[in-house]
Amino acid sequence: MRTLEVDGKAATLMGLEQADGKRGLTLTVNQPFDVLLENKLPEPTAIHWHGLHPPNDQDGVPGLTQPVIAPNASYHYNFPVQPSGTHWMHSHEGLQEAFLLSAPLIVHTPSDERADEQEIVLFLGDFSFTPPTEIFARLRKPSTQAMAMHGSAAGGKSAKTMAMDKPDANDVNYDAYLINDRTLADPEVIRVEKNGKVRLRIINGSSGTNFFVSLGDLKGELIATDGMDVRPISGSRFPLAIAQRIDVRLQLPRDGAFPILALREGAAEQTGVILATPGASIKKLSVKNTVPAEMLTFNLESQLVAVNPLTSKPIDRSFDLRFQGNMSQYEWPINGIVFDVEHPRGQKAQVQVKKGQRIALKFINETGMSHPMHLHGHSFQVIEINGKPLNGALRDTVLVPPKTSVTVAFDANNPGIWYAHCHILWHLAAGMATLVQYET
């Protein structure tokens, strides 16, 4: 447990730290992931290594791939670190992720370690003083009065107006939006060199918020998504859905202070850090923008091209996963099935595969909300958007906007039983998940 000051008010949260207090892990690819996880919380937990490809029994999903870790108990993980890139780790137990039980997980290559550039990790988050269990209870039993309360369902909408065919950005209005545990009221100021090279590793560790990352007056090159290299794309504003990561390379042009902002999708709230050369004056920035940000779309996704795509191979099996929703009961089924996250082993896998097969998953979103879909234990390639083929990015999390479809392909090369789920924490808790199971 830890205490964090959010806009002048103390908040009791969970944390994921090394023994010396350092947040997160930085490792080298192909080295052992030799980690002892000690639970100093007053309740059970388990941690998922999001982006890595561990053996199934070390994936960190309680009740599915490992038992929970009891208070004052520990669990030893040991497997080769794969793949390299910008990843993260977070609890997969209950609603602990909304207590900020998460942290960066960076895996370097030897060339990363030789690069003449400053590496800066930016970890985006959202936070409410309302306990996560209470937020979820309000979502499950919506009422106009409850929804209007800060930290619960978005904008005071009734269940009727939040119809499934109506586009909607956010189920939850949070009290604060964070980068590296701080808001723009007291942002982190990161010292950089004049004319220096910088690599931003940006992680969206939010439980319910998509963002746009704005570089302001700077221009950068997007060079990786979810840790996987893509052909560079130049720009100053990039979408970043929940659980996704991007790497952006910057060449700082001069002396000065350079805000790096995260703009909340469909709203005016923003958070950020400030890159500043020595002696630069720092201006105060507002926690709200003058205009709301737009909604995330496929604009960037359709331009991305993997540097190391999947090898050319026919699809062996294809599966359609249709997303539906019932706002009156706050249920989010896939193909009509509401997944019971409390008893994952008892649920039927909707995706059955054999080792060595090339698998295609078509995500079909019939709802009015976007869903960031994550597959555990594998990376996949985006091969089709709204029926249009492409040689897209390698990822482990893809955003499926309202009334759209995305097809991804992956190689069944990591046997076991794996989660595939929406990474909006509240949607997962309300049943938007299924299993990918290898036949034995």
pLDDT digits (tens, 9 = 90+) for 140-185: 986 543 343 333 333 333 333 333 444 467 899 999 999 999 999 9
Provide the CATH topology of domain 2-109.
Immunoglobulin-like (2.60.40)
Give the whole-angstrom CA distance, residue 51 versus residue 106. Answer: 10
Give the whole-angstrom CA distance, residue 61 versus residue 417. Answer: 11
pLDDT digits (tens, 9 = 90+) for 374-387: 999 999 999 999 99
Evaluate whether 176-296 and 317-438 have a shared fold: yes
Average pLDDT over residues 65-85: 97
At residue 328, the pLDDT reads: 82
| pLDDT at 191 exceeding the cut of 70 | yes
pLDDT digits (tens, 9 = 90+) for 324-368: 998 788 999 999 999 999 999 999 999 999 999 999 999 999 999
Give the whole-angstrom CA distance, residue 401 versus residue 297. Answer: 6
Closest Cα to residue 175, out of 292, 294, 293, 271?
A: 271
| pLDDT at 226 exceeding the cut of 70 | yes
Domain 317-438 is of which CATH architecture?
Sandwich (2.60)
First to last CA, the chain: 41
Judged by average pLDDT, the poorest of 59-73, 74-88, 110-124, 195-209 is 110-124
What residue ranges do the domains of the chain occupy? 2-109, 176-296, 317-438
| pLDDT at 188 exceeding the cut of 90 | yes
| pLDDT at 303 exceeding the cut of 50 | yes
Going by pLDDT thresholds of 50, 70 and 90, the confidence category of residue 221 is very high
| pLDDT at 397 exceeding the cut of 70 | yes
Percent residues over pLDDT 90 in the chain? 89
The predicted model scores a pTM of 0.94
Q: Report the mean per-residue pLDDT for the chain.
A: 93
At residue 269, the pLDDT reads: 97
Q: What 8-state DSSP symbol labels residue 58?
A: G
Closest Cα to residue 410, out of 353, 370, 371?
A: 353
At residue 142, the pLDDT reads: 61
CATH number of 176-296: 2.60.40.420
Give the whole-angstrom CA distance, residue 148 versus residue 141. Answer: 13
Average pLDDT over residues 270-291: 94
| pLDDT at 254 exceeding the cut of 90 | no
At residue 249, the pLDDT reads: 98
